[in-house]
Amino acid sequence: MVERIVRQVALEYLGRGSSKGNVSELVVQTSSRHMHVCREDMDVLFGPGAELTFDRPLFQEGNFAAKESVTIVGPRSRIISNLRILGPMRKQSQVELAFTDAIMLGFNDLPIRLSGDIKGTPGAIIIGPKGVVELKEGVIRAAIHAHMSPAEAAHFGVKQGELMKLRVGGPSGVTFNNVHVRIDPTSRLNIHMDTDEANACGLHLTKDVELFK
């Protein structure tokens, strides 16, 4: 777990690929399993009025890894502890797992969703230091996605919700064919994949990455 976080941090500020005109350098990041919490669940898990404690910044402006973590209990009564919370708080709580994590916990058919699209997804028991929350839904595998600014989207000729391809070179050599485009004025170009995807393509072994339509 510590190793995963170390790897994530290490990858976070590694520029990959090269700049092109008004497009930022392509930064591909590994997103380890984590949780987003809503105000109401935060109150239960960490006590009424508790706030997330800043630990380190994430690539996208305003996002951060919090010092707080929780324990998730899956349908097989197996647990993953030290599930890190990412801030800021959101309207809905959500847990993002790789399939490897999901299978271990007993989620055999975890839906692949974009962040925030949690309707009809499985729930889980979440244990914090001050209380327990039963999430009715919100456990997903996050679909691989590319954050970008409107200018970057224009450069690639893509629109919100379209799919692009990400080729990762190196010894494994994998192309992800369904990279979801997420455009926001506050975003900088970067790609989020989960630990299964990063491990499958050996992301730590190569700087040869290419995003294309």
Binding site for its own copies (CB under 8 A): 3-4, 7, 98-100, 103-104, 106, 108, 112, 143-144, 163, 167, 171-178, 195-197, 199-202, 205
Question: Judged by CB, which is closer to its own copies: 129, or 173?
Answer: 173
- Tell the smallest beta-carbon distance from residue 93 to its own copies (Å): 23
Shortest Cβ 100–its own copies spacing (Å)? 5
42 vs 191, beta carbon nearer its own copies: 191
Residue 39 vs 165, nearer CB to its own copies: 165
Closest approach, Cβ 115 to its own copies, in A, equals 15
Residue found by looking up tokens 């951060």 in the block:
64
Please tell me the number of Cα atoms within 13 Å of 165 on its side-chain side: 8
> Residue by residue, what is the 3-state secondary structure of the chain?
CHHHHHHHHHHHCCCCCCCECCECCCEEEEECCEEECEHHHHHHHHCCCCCCCEEEECCCCCCEEEEEEEEEECCCCCEEEEEEEEECCECCCEEECCHHHHHHHCCCCCCEECCCCCCCCCCEEEECCCCEEEECCCEEEECCEEEECHHHHHHHCCCCCCEEEEEECCCCCEEEEEEEEEECCCCCCEEEEEHHHHHHHCHHHCCCEEEEC
- Is the CB of 1 or the CB of 132 nearer to its own copies? 1
Angstrom distance (rounded) from CA 127 to CA 199: 28
> Among 189, 141, 184, which Cα is nearest to 161's?
184
Which of 50/103 has CB closer to its own copies?
A: 103
- Residue 39 CB: number of other CB atoms within 10 A? 13
CB of 111 vs its own copies, minimal distance in Å:
9
- Work out how close the CB of 61 gets to its own copies at its nearest, in angstroms, rounded to a whole number: 28
**Least distance in angstroms from the C-beta of 70 to its own copies:** 20
Closest CB to its own copies among residues 127, 200: 200
